[in-house]
Amino acid sequence: MKEITSPNHKKFRSWLMSGLRKISRFWEPARECLKKARIARGMYTCNLCKKITQTKDIKIDHINPVIPVEGFKDWDDVVKRLFCEADGFQAICKECHDKKTKEENAKRKILKKEKAVLQYYKDKDGKLDL
């Protein structure tokens, strides 16, 4: 088995992110957001589409993504974004959450391609060779 020598190693980052997300479920500001969206027992209002949905279809979403669209910066930034205050969360239905996530991932993909193209055209001095 390959030894993890860096906190930036993919497997380590994935494992750590998974653990942080699990403990973030108990973060009180996120629970406050859910309470605000509750209209009756087991019924919630989506903050985006205003549709009424059941407990199983409501998601507590970070308004600003935990990992920015521009990509991973550092662990301090991740923790700061993950454990934000109540105004950094929104209760949204599964459909809106999936749509928002898909849009963010599409933006990430475009930025990744743009970075790859720029890197391709850079010469050894770090200048663009167009």
Quote the distance between the C-alpha of residue 109 and its chain's center.
Answer: 14
Q: What is the pLDDT of residue 121?
A: 77
How many domains, in total, are found in the chain?
1
Range of the domain at 70: 27-121
Contact criterion met (CB below 8 Å) for 91 and 47: yes
Structure tokens at 64: 């600003």
In a domain, 9, yes or no: no
Residue 89: phi, psi to the nearest 5?
-115, 160
In a domain, 61, yes or no: yes
- Ordered per-residue pLDDT tens for the chain, 130 residues: 455 556 668 888 899 999 999 999 999 999 999 999 999 999 999 999 999 999 999 999 999 999 999 888 899 999 999 999 999 999 999 999 999 999 999 999 999 888 888 877 775 556 665 5
Q: What is the pLDDT of residue 115?
A: 84
Q: What is the pLDDT of residue 37?
A: 97
Q: What is the pLDDT of residue 40?
A: 97
In a domain, 3, yes or no: no
In a domain, 15, yes or no: no
Give me the DSSP letters along 25-73: TT-HHHHHHHHHHEEETTEEE-TTT--EEEGGGEEEEESS-SS-TT---
In a domain, 60, yes or no: yes
In a domain, 16, yes or no: no
In a domain, 13, yes or no: no
pTM of the predicted model, to two decimals?
A: 0.80
Q: What is the pLDDT of residue 2?
A: 55
